[in-house]
Structure 1
Amino acid sequence: MKKTIMLISMMMIVFIFNGFTLFQNKDKKAILFVNFGTTYNDTRVATIDTLQKKIADTYKDYDVRLAYTSRQIIRKLSERDGIRIDTPEEALKKLKADGYGTVIVQATHIINGEEADYLKREVASLKDDFYVIKLGHPLLTHIKDYELTMKALQLQYSELKADEAVVLIGHGTHHPSTSAYAMIDYFFQDASQNVYFGTVEGFPSYDNVLTRLKKNGIRTVTLMPFLFVAGDHANNDIAGDEEDSWKSMLLKEGFNVNVYLHGLGENEAIQQIFIEHIEHAITNKEIDMKRKKAGYALGK
């Protein structure tokens, strides 16, 4: 009798501390599609909604759910449109409550910056709530990603003359991952393309890009957002009529300025890179560095 009571007690402890995973179904699978978000409905339809549908069409045995990371955008959409979008943490807790055992989290982050780090911590904090939970990579992660992104971006413009250039402008960050912008810039330099990368908040800055444009004798510039959606930054900081927008400042410097006001999420080749990152998360095992180093120590 004591053994039976002890066994039941142990089962209850496991049940409680394992986050009620006895109710999780390993074969009930979901993809949590995470975005910073946008309040611009037209760009949302062309980017977030389009890629969400493509993910659902590609992975029919997974249910696809949506989350936004920007609390400001979530609040504004709720107040303005009566639409409530979950944060990643809220969405994951709902997936747990609904009995999902396998979850793939894929965000539309461009670089492995602060937003990507925060999401990684959120996912890690809930890893014991699922049999399997994996996080897909941001757009620019592996060398192959840079190569594919360069090819995808080349679909957005025609052959450039010697005095013409494309300037792609990302958000930017003070996180060490800002080096990703310089790296993708170098890919284009190495391919002898008149394509430059700048950021709204970080490096390369407007001044960095301006110096290079003048040095290389560029007269006509086409501005493109290096952002998943053409939202607030694209419409105001890049293409706006305010004095401190990139368009206004370049016009003041005497350049001819064109604007390509479309987010990266509208580019089908960029969409495909994110699909491939989901596939990688599904099919590849995560590397346990502690176990790997232990193997090295043993000469394996």
Structure 2
Amino acid sequence: MKQKQAILLVSFGTSYLKSKEKTIDKLLEKTAESFPDYRIYQAWTSKVIIKILKERNNIVIPAIEEAMAQIHSEGIEKLIVQPTHFINGIENETMEELVLQHAAPGLDIRFGDPLLTSTEDHKAVLQAVIREFSQLPREEALVYMGHGTTHHANSVYAALDYMLKDMGCLNFFMGTVEAYPDLDALIRQVTRTKARKVHLAPFMLVAGDHANNDMAGDHKDSWKSQFEAAGYEVECHLKGLGEYEGIRDIYMEHLRKAIEKSF
């Protein structure tokens, strides 16, 4: 008798419904299309955002504990957990601990890799980024805003910036809103180029609060305002990486690898 198998897609979540529809929802759809023999579940890790959506929009998204309880109640025996997290940082480690803590006895669990796990992942993600902005004039700069973390995995952002230059994109820059490379470092780097215009884009799954406020907000501390104060024309692109078809393909490849090495 065939065992019941499932995929649990885990995201931080977002309160921006339009971005949710274009990113997390699309990933769920693609997962269901790519793996028709698996039941598909989702869970979000942000209890604050889950609460906002329930109270404001009457949208119910399960937390990990609730998703694992449902998985147990429906008799799932084999589970692949695929995070939409970007790095193997604090969020991902905490997620894995919660899943294991709330797993039913005997449930066989495997974890897929976050987006930026291997050097091959880094190259594939940057190739998707480069395709997205392939028409950008050489005299204009693209600055990506990543999240950043106090975890040692934060070093991936500097590595990505280095890799962009190695791939010939001397006018592409990678920074973070909460760690290094920070905004001051990015302004210094862009100043060393001949760029007159700066394009800002979120290096995050969704175009949520960081993208709309910290990056594109009109307040004086936003990245947009700071680059304008430095003398640049600024254009903001409010499109999360989850909207890029190439990025969704990488997540599916991570799922395939997890399934191949599992059970």
Does the TM-score normalized on the shorter chain lie above 0.5? yes
Task: Give how far 1:27 is off.
Answer: 1.4
- Aligned partners of 2:156 and 2:63: how far apart in 1? 26
Match of 1:30 in 2: 6
Q: Identify the structure with bigger relative contact order (alpha carbons < 8 Å, sequence gap 6+).
A: 2
Match of 2:245 in 1: 268
Specify which of 180, 204, 207 is matched with residue 181 of structure 2. Answer: 204
- Aligned partners of 1:156 and 1:247: how far apart in 2? 20
Q: Contact 1:164/1:218 (CA < 8 Å) preserved in 2?
A: yes
Task: Give how far 1:218 is off.
Answer: 2.4
CA shift digits 1:202-245 (9 cap, x unpaired): 11100111111112232211101000000111100111111111
Q: Contact 1:47/1:228 (CA < 8 Å) preserved in 2?
A: yes
CA shift digits 1:48-87 (9 cap, x unpaired): 1111001001110111111111011001111111222111
- Aligned partners of 2:50 and 2:59: how far apart in 1? 8
Task: Give how far 1:163 is off.
Answer: 2.8
Match of 2:190 in 1: 213
> TM-score by structure 2 length?
0.95
1:132 equivalent to 2:108? Answer yes
For residue 218 of structure 1, give the secondary structure of its aligned residue in structure 2.
Answer: coil
Q: Percent identity?
A: 42
Q: How many residues align?
A: 262
Specify which of 254, 278, 283 is matched with residue 255 of structure 2. Answer: 278
- The RMSD of aligned alpha carbons is 1.5
For residue 129 of structure 1, give the secondary structure of its aligned residue in structure 2.
Answer: coil
Q: Can you give the 5+ residue segments of structure 1 that lack an aligned partner in the other structure?
A: 1-24, 287-300
The answer to which structure has the higher helix fraction is 1
**Bigger radius of gyration among the two:** 1
Q: Can you give the 5+ residue segments of structure 2 that lack an aligned partner in the other structure?
A: none
Task: Give how far 1:26 is off.
Answer: 6.5
Residue identity opposite 1:81 in structure 2 = N
CA shift digits 1:219-277 (9 cap, x unpaired): 21110100000011110011111111100110111011111110000000000000001
For residue 4 of structure 2, give the secondary structure of its aligned residue in structure 1.
Answer: strand
- Aligned partners of 1:71 and 1:127: how far apart in 2? 19
Match of 1:42 in 2: 18
Q: Contact 1:100/1:130 (CA < 8 Å) preserved in 2?
A: no
> TM-score by structure 1 length?
0.84
- Aligned partners of 2:197 and 2:124: how far apart in 1? 26
Task: Give how far 1:44 is off.
Answer: 0.7
- Aligned partners of 1:162 and 1:99: how far apart in 2? 55
Task: Give how far 1:165 is off.
Answer: 1.1
- Aligned partners of 2:88 and 2:95: how far apart in 1? 10
